[in-house]
Structure 1
Amino acid sequence: MSPSVAALLSVLGISLVSLAGVFTLSLGRARLERVIFLLVSFAVGAMLGGALLHLIPESYDALGEGPQTGLLVLAGVVAFFVLEKFLHWRHQHGAPEALDGATGHVHHGHSHGLDRPPQGEAAPFALVNLVGSVAHNVIDGAIVAAAYLVSIQTGVVTTLAVMLHEIPQEIGNFGVLVYGGYPPRKALLYNFVAGLGGLVGAGLVLALGGSVEGLADWLLPITAGAFLYIAGSDLIPELNRRHSYPATKAVGQLVMMLLGIAVMALPLLWG
């Protein structure tokens, strides 16, 4: 299988994760919160492992031992900080309004800090969340495609890291759309369409990859910086803020985080 076909299939698989929200409608709020906190912990380990065990070492192999790789990793961190500020991305992994929406238990008149619209209308924050999700998925698709241009193994590792992060993210996005006034079926459709933005990002990178020398090599450390930023700025603080106590939850976090790192370490055995 060619890297281009593998990249497009992987991005399509990631896009299908946007349908995960439908399964939350049968869960109670307490059960969903437990599931999400475990998924977020696992995603933290996967993103840190992907960045530190694969992307950064491979960047040094491709770009040499100078400061270039470190500067590009920092550029990735700064770029995602700016993007998050500009797009107002909200990582709704444990927010009450996202949990209420994802389980279908939306109570009008109780806003949890967000202004809900009248019944039958959609709130502006839901549209902003949808636009941010499209941009997010375009970037994810570009990241995955660039990784496949380096090697199949790098592409698979990057796909796993992105996909594991996307599961709780897409559940949160679905919950925000429902909480913002969209019917569950329409929210699911819009979330899936937003997820297809990844194919746009992948297509752009694959089209440019052959004409821009070293494009994939430059994107690898930037991707590593993005993973480090998302894990350190969005996911770990979310876990510390909502799920650190009692001690059993902290232990559960650690176990799932180590499991995520272990999953990313496995490809090293056959690399």
Structure 2
Amino acid sequence: MHSSLLIVMVASATGTALAILAAAWLSSRSIARALEPMVSLSTGVLLGTSLLHLLPEALDKGMEYHDLFIWLLGGLLFFFVLEKFAIFRHSHHHEHDGHHHEHGFDRHEAGRGGLLIVVGDSIHNFADGLLIASAFLVDVQLGLLTTLSIVLHEIPQQTGDFLVLMNAGIARAKAIRLMAVAGAAAVLGAFLGFTLFSQLQHVLPIALVLASASFLYVAVADLIPQMQQRLALRSSIMQVTTITAGVVLVAYLASVLHHHH
């Protein structure tokens, strides 16, 4: 059952607002302990949503297996190139967060201009809006799950961005306003995506595969390498457990979604 444009835009706006508010709250706390399980859970949810939901839905929409893997490979390479140009960025690192990096990492990054973060986030949020729209056009439940996946991985990223902006000397209230402006791009992306994909149904399976490529890239190229930096046995067990919990959650929702078809 296709959803309406209003539902898509409300979901996009609500998801963005939740991520920004959660990031604003976490950035004022001891973030390392709070973000570690969030990163692990995000990894499981992103992998599960990509492999258990988005790719199967693309096949159900009539995409050939060979074409699916061509678009998936192209999408992974595309996001790699975007990240090389610092457009598709996921900053989860911050001073005193428990991760190892050179002293002054954030101050150096902040010195390159906090507004560049807002521009990069706007582009990334616009793409997220497109992904949300494509998922909702397939099924309301798939749209909600995709929105949840995006929110979970946006919280650590937005928290890192908040800290970089504040290290650049920007007040918390202004940082929230800047992130809200960047978040508005997600609503714009959702509106344009819904309008475009509604008219061009044959493009929808490709959009689903690119959404899957986005989730896979974030999980494998960004989140998992972060977790490999903490190799204590207890931390590793918690990571595996939390990732598994994310996959199991998505698998359960996938079975519910299947029964509604």
- Count the aligned residue pairs: 251
Do 1:37 and 1:93's aligned partners in 2 also have CA atoms closer than 8 Å? no
Mapping 1:178-257, distance limit 5 Å: 178-241=166-229, 243-244=230-231, 246-257=232-243
Mapping 1:19-30, distance limit 5 Å: 19-28=21-30
Q: CA deviation at 1:115?
A: 3.0
Do 1:146 and 1:205's aligned partners in 2 also have CA atoms closer than 8 Å? yes
Deviations 1:125-166 (A, max 9, x none): 322221111111000011000111111122122111111111
Q: Describe the shift of the 1:151–1:181 C-alpha distance in structure 2 as closer, same or farther (beyond 3 A).
A: same
Mapping 1:22-41, distance limit 5 Å: 22-28=24-30, 32-41=31-40
Mapping 1:85-164, distance limit 5 Å: 85-96=84-95, 99=97, 111-112=104-105, 114-115=107-108, 123-164=111-152
**Letter paired with 1:13:** T
Q: CA deviation at 1:36?
A: 0.8
Do 1:19 and 1:192's aligned partners in 2 also have CA atoms closer than 8 Å? no
Q: CA deviation at 1:2?
A: 3.3
Structure 1 residues without counterparts, runs of 5 or longer? 101-109, 117-121
Q: How high is the TM-score relative to the length of structure 1?
A: 0.86
Q: Describe the shift of the 1:224–1:2 C-alpha distance in structure 2 as closer, same or farther (beyond 3 A).
A: closer
Structure 2 residues without counterparts, runs of 5 or longer? none
Q: How high is the TM-score relative to the length of structure 2?
A: 0.89
Deviations 1:109-132 (A, max 9, x none): x7236438xxxxx73332222111
Q: CA deviation at 1:189?
A: 1.2
Aligned-partner Cα distance in 2 for 1:92–1:230: 11
Aligned-CA RMSD value: 2.1
Aligned twin of 2:161 = 173
Q: CA deviation at 1:89?
A: 4.6
Do 1:138 and 1:200's aligned partners in 2 also have CA atoms closer than 8 Å? yes
Q: CA deviation at 1:25?
A: 4.8
Q: Describe the shift of the 1:198–1:124 C-alpha distance in structure 2 as closer, same or farther (beyond 3 A).
A: same
Query: Aligned to 2:113, what secondary structure does the other structure show?
Result: helix
Aligned-partner Cα distance in 1 for 2:4–2:223: 30
Q: CA deviation at 1:213?
A: 3.3
Query: Aligned to 2:228, what secondary structure does the other structure show?
Result: helix
